[in-house]
Structures are given as structure tokens and as C-alpha cells.
């Protein structure tokens, strides 16, 4: 990233391609799974893991980091990915589990469970800036969803699935605006938390949820660190 260049501008300048996939094929892989998670920086509800195995002759041309695609376009591309993919899978890990362990562990669990939800197992994984404790060859790629088409596909499928869940809970808790901000730390979300307090789906180990005065005494313990929250602030 160039000096003075914002992270958003930097990520938007990157172009997804199949270079990492081709390197894995050259090393002997035959089924390559792109893996990513979304929702780790949210103050509420699940973190979602996704994996997509694309065919080597994949013709999809609009794959990129899911955060850089409009919601309407994401939904369309996610449908195209599912039609094209050899296999795909998603998995959700609850806010309660995030509070019990931490967001880093929960994100890895979500990706691990997504992999095990596949009908066809990959023999190599491309993962966005992480490694997973699983006996499959893998490559960790910083900003992987901005470089690798397979990781970008996983990011898109996972984000669309998680966003759908956030819209569903918006109907149950309409005063919080979950359909709009998807649980992330917006001014609207903070104002609702201050006025109404947290829902059972909020992450009580996350600031500012953790720091609010709560009327109930049964509050889950603080587990996630400030560092891990900052790391995932936009996921």
C-alpha cells in the first residue's frame, strides 16, 4: 500500500485473478477451495464462514472482495457462483460461541465447519490471511479476497448468507436497524443500544455492548480482545 493511500483505495485498486489457483494446480492440486469469513467485526449475531471450489475453466468475471460490491450485485453474483461452482458451503457460529471463546477462534470454527459441509472435499485451500487446523494443504494470502477469485467467491457467498440472517432478525428487533447496518458499529446501532440495551443476539464481549449498563445480571464473560475486534472491524 502506497504512502498516504487509504486501505479502501488500496483494496479497490486490486484485481482478482486465478494466479494463486494456477500455482496450486501446477504443484499438483486438483480441487482448490477458496475460504473466507464475514461478520467477525459485527457487534451482533453470527460470524459466517464460506468455501467455494470453482472449476479451472471458470468464466466469472466480476469476482472481488465482497465489501466492494453493492448488495444487489452481490446477490446476483452469489447466485452465479453457486451455479458455476463444483461445490460450495457456508457455516455460522453464534454470538454466544464468540463470547465463550473469542472472535478469532469463532471465525476459524466457521471456516472449518464450512469445509466439512462440502459434498466434495478440496485438496488445497486458499485462505484469506489465516490458517486452519485441518489436514489439507493450504496457502494463506493477505487480502486474499482482493487477489484470489476463489477466496472472493467464498467471501461473496458467505456475506450474502449472513446478510440474509441479519434481515431476518431485523423483523424481530426492528428498532436496531439490523437490515441496514448488518450489526456493524454505526451511529444508528450505537444509539439503539444506548436506548434499548442489547438483544440476546449481541456479542457481550464486544465494546460498546460490554460497556453498556444492562438491566439484567446474567451477562456472558468478556473473552474477545480489543485487538481482535480492531482486526476485524470491517469484516
pLDDT digits (tens, 9 = 90+) for 82-127: 999 999 999 999 999 999 999 999 999 999 999 999 999 999 999 9
Taking only the tens place, the pLDDT of each residue in 120-149 is 999 999 999 999 999 999 999 999 999 999
pLDDT tops 50 at residue 228: no
Q: Please provide residue 130's backbone torsions phi and psi, each rounded to the nearest 5 degrees.
A: -145, 170
**Strand-pair partners of 219:** none
By the 8 A CB rule, do 139 and 20 touch?
yes
pLDDT of 82:
98
CATH number for the segment(s) 15-168: 3.30.420.10
Taking only the tens place, the pLDDT of each residue in 35-94 is 999 999 999 999 999 999 999 999 999 999 999 999 999 999 999 999 999 999 999 999
- SS3 letters across the chain: CCCCCCHHHHHHHCCCECHHHHHHHHCCCCCEEEEEEECCCCCECCEEEEEEECCCCCCCCCCCCHHHCCHHHHHHHHHHHHHHCCEEEEEEECHHHHHHCCHHHHHHHHHHHHHHCCCCCCCEEEEECCCCCCCCEEEEECCHHHHEHHHHHHHHHHHHHHHHHHHHHHHHCHHHCHHHHCCCCCHHHHHHHHHHCCCCCECCCCCCCCCCCCCCCCCCCCCCCHHHHHHCCCC
pTM here? 0.87
Dihedral sign, CA of 188, 200, 103, 124?
negative
Radius of gyration of the chain (CA): 18
What is the CA angle 119-125-128, rounded to 5?
A: 120
Domain ranges of the chain: 15-168
C-alpha cell at 26: 501446477
Amino acid at each position: 500500500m502506497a504512502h498516504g493511500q487509504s486501505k479502501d483505495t488500496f483494496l479497490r485498486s486490486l484485481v482478482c485473478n486465478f494466479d494463486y489457483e494456477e500455482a496450486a494446480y501446477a504443484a499438483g492440486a486438483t480441487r482448490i477451495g477458496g475460504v473466507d469469513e464475514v461478520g467477525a467485526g459485527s457487534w451482533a449475531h453470527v460470524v459466517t464462514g464460506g468455501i467455494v471450489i470453482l472449476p479451472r475453466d471458470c468464466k466469472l468475471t466480476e469476482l472481488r472482495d465482497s465489501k466492494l460490491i453493492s448488495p444487489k450485485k452481490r446477490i446476483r453474483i452469489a447466485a452465479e457462483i453457486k451455479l458455476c461452482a463444483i461445490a460450495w458451503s457456508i457455516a455460522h457460529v453464534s454470538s454466544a460461541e464468540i463470547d465463550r471463546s473469542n472472535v478469532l477462534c469463532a471465525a476459524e470454527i466457521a471456516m472449518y465447519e464450512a469445509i466439512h459441509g462440502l459434498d466434495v472435499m478440496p485438496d488445497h485451500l486458499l485462505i484469506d490471511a489465516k490458517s486452519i487446523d485441518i489436514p489439507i494443504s493450504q496457502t494463506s494470502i493477505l487480502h486474499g479476497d482482493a487477489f484470489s477469485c476463489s477466496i472472493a467467491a467464498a467471501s461473496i457467498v458467505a456475506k450474502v448468507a449472513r446478510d440474509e440472517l441479519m434481515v431476518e432478525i431485523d423483523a424481530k428487533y426492528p428498532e436496531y436497524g439490523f437490515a441496514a447496518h448488518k450489526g456493524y458499529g454505526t451511529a444508528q446501532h450505537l444509539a439503539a443500544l444506548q436506548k434499548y440495551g442489547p438483544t440476546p443476539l449481541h456479542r457481550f464481549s464486544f465494546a460498546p455492548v460490554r460497556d453498556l449498563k444492562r438491566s439484567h445480571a446474567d451477562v456472558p464473560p468478556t473473552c474477545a480482545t480489543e485487538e481482535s475486534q480492531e482486526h476485524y472491524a470491517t469484516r
